[in-house]
A and B are shown apart, each in its own frame.
Chain A
Amino acid sequence: VARFLAKRYALNVLAVDLGAATTSLIAVKKERVLRAIHPHWGLSLGLDRIVQHVGLEKIMAWVPGKLPATEAHARLLNQMLHPATLPTAPEDERALQAALRTALMSAATDWHAGPTDLVDGIDLCLISGAPVARGMPYGDLVLMILDALELRGIVTLAADGNGLAAALGAMAAVSPEAAAQLVERDGFITLGTLIAPFTNGREGSNALSVHVTTARGGALDLDVQQGTIELLPLGLGERATVEIRPASGVELGVPLQGGVLKREMEGGALGLIIDARGRPLQLPEADEARREKLQQWLWDMGGK
């Protein structure tokens, strides 16, 4: 389906699939297909292998809030034993999301061309797999992808909420028109548009000045600080003209005119997502500060 979307809509596409037993990253850029597939890492049966390969310490580094390592490990192993169950407690979600983050990071890093080769210049990121199917909150899902892959530039984010990606890919080989109609008729859920500048400025300094004018005439002005995530409300199907003026030293990865990027962008379930945390992401060394930072990011994305 990544190849179909790339060819049909002339986009650079990154497909991220978090399956029960496999983690896959497939990027299609100008007919070049890059794959990072780990057949033994997954949300359920592969969780133990993720813990063994990545290490519990690295997973715990991504758990917001206080959760003992042994308890997190036990929760992950119990998820492995009961793969079809739904995490109910926030601690379950935290442990699972941390494990998935590190699995994605490892999968991207293992790609021999380097992780940035996968994510640079991407126009559309399609997320599929068990987290989407099981109803992980969209904010948590997008934050997990942003933390793990450090997407950058202007990227449309979509989720395969109906589990159609594999079928669409197969259908596209036989009937591209039918597949296109399905894609254009809510086959995927548009989560929104990500604006992630290349920046490593001082935390708290101004990174972007954003002016949003919606089709209905509403307007919004916002100065985005370095180190923050902002969600701007723009609903499903809504379009807005977005003017972004990056601060000195901040790049958007796209050409500017007169120092300003002016483009029409689409909203989605989350809206416009501005991730000015910088690339590469820097986490505080101290445990307490790191947990607070992770929790703050989760709240910024509408999570708990």
Chain B
Amino acid sequence: MDFYPVLPETRVMPWVKLTRERMLPMRGEVSAPVGANMSPLDVIARATPPKEIRAVPLTRLMGLRERDLPKHLHKHAGDLVEAREIIISKRLNLFNERLIYPSPGAGRILAVQGSWLLLELDGLPTELRSLYRGTVTRVVPQFGITIEAEGAWAQGIWGAGDEAYGLLKIVAQSPNEVLTPEKIDVSARGTIVVAGMIDSIAALTGVARARAAGLVVGSLTVNLKSIAENLGLPVLVTEGFGRIPICTPIYGLLKQFDGSEACAVAGLTPRAGGVTLRPEVFIPRARAANQPPAQAPTPLVNQLGATVRVMREPYLGQVGKLAQVSPRASVLANGARAYGAEVELTSGRTFVPWSNLELIG
């Protein structure tokens, strides 16, 4: 009897019910009640971070003696200050040039003692939006909600940046099309751009300059990784690094919903700390008449005929069907021996170790 090990999965589903938690990073106020229908841009919770106490060395900053501070202070203990409001100033020369210290933010002067000023700064309020179009099923007081949404879903493997919401814009005519700067124009503004591969800094920065909401690609070349991490644009990669086309199941799904509303969670490092935080794209869909409700995803089954994706070179990113289980360990090109299966890829039938396969669907 053939042995079918449990394989990891990448989910690509046209109709699924997802449950997602939307939580504030700190205590705040949740405004969405259970049962409410949320749109992606609806604010579900707000929080104001704790105030920051900052000690300012006035004599060192201004080059003044301690006894001279009072005559240069514009604000005193107990006074409220706005951001950039001048707290202390000193005349530098006869030409009316002044050295000033403006408040770094809105807040209150707690005390002026000796050569030090204590400033209490207000934190910037944080608003948490729903991101998913769905129904609130649970409220966690002071933190957030759990929301249920129905639609199409595809998982990525790596991401940089935060979350994106916008219309999907497929700029690639095929899964292996490379994104070039000419393909990005003003119509990309506010959209989630989908391309096969990206290999130039100009193309990546072009997407950011066009003020796109996010970017979904099959792969990035390694020189773009650190740029993507610092760009501030949510970038979601479905295959890996190098020149790997976006796989056909994901491309086909996203192409089907070109122009539809979508959200992309680029997320943190995938699988960090043992927790699976995979980047994902979710496209909310309204249930058609007579269509059964979407179900939560159930595990895929590893069996003959299952759709699998290869996770290592030389067939990295290729999708095929499980054709035959190899009863014996095979010797790989690097001399290691491993159990695996014969997989029918577009390039032909080949042996792939079990550890290098994942189910996709």
Contact = CB atoms under 8 A, between A and B. Distances in A.
Q: Main SS of chain A's interface residues?
A: loop
Contacts, number: 85
Residue among A75, A85, A90, A92 with max Cβ neighbours from chain B (10 Å): A85
A283 to B, nearest CB: 23
A81 B157 contact: yes
A87 B334 contact: yes
Given A45-B272, A73-B222, A78-B313, A90 B336 contact: no
B270 A81 contact: yes
A88 B356 contact: yes
Residue among B221, B271, B338 with max Cβ neighbours from chain A (10 Å): B271
A90 B311 contact: no
A304 interface: yes
A235 interface: no
Contact of B336 (A74, A82, A134): A134
A70 B223 contact: yes
Using C-beta atoms within 8 Å of the partner chain, give the interface range for chain A: 20 to 34
B240 A78 contact: yes
A109 to B, nearest CB: 25
Interface string B225-245: 100000000000000111000
A288 interface: no
Contacts of B241: 73-74, 77-78, 81
A92 B271 contact: no
A155 B326 CA distance: 40
Given A89-B333, A135-B336, A78 B271 contact: no
Interface in B271-298: 271-272
Interface of B: 8, 157-158, 221-223, 225, 240-242, 269-272, 311-314, 316, 332-338, 353, 355-356
Interface of A: 45, 70-71, 73-75, 77-78, 81-93, 134-137, 303-304
24 contacts: A70-B223, A71-B242, A73-B241, A74-B222, A74-B240, A75-B242, A78-B240, A78-B311, A81-B241, A85-B356, A88-B312, A88-B314, A88-B332, A88-B334, A88-B356, A89-B312, A89-B313, A89-B314, A90-B334, A92-B312, A92-B334, A135-B337, A136-B336, A137-B335
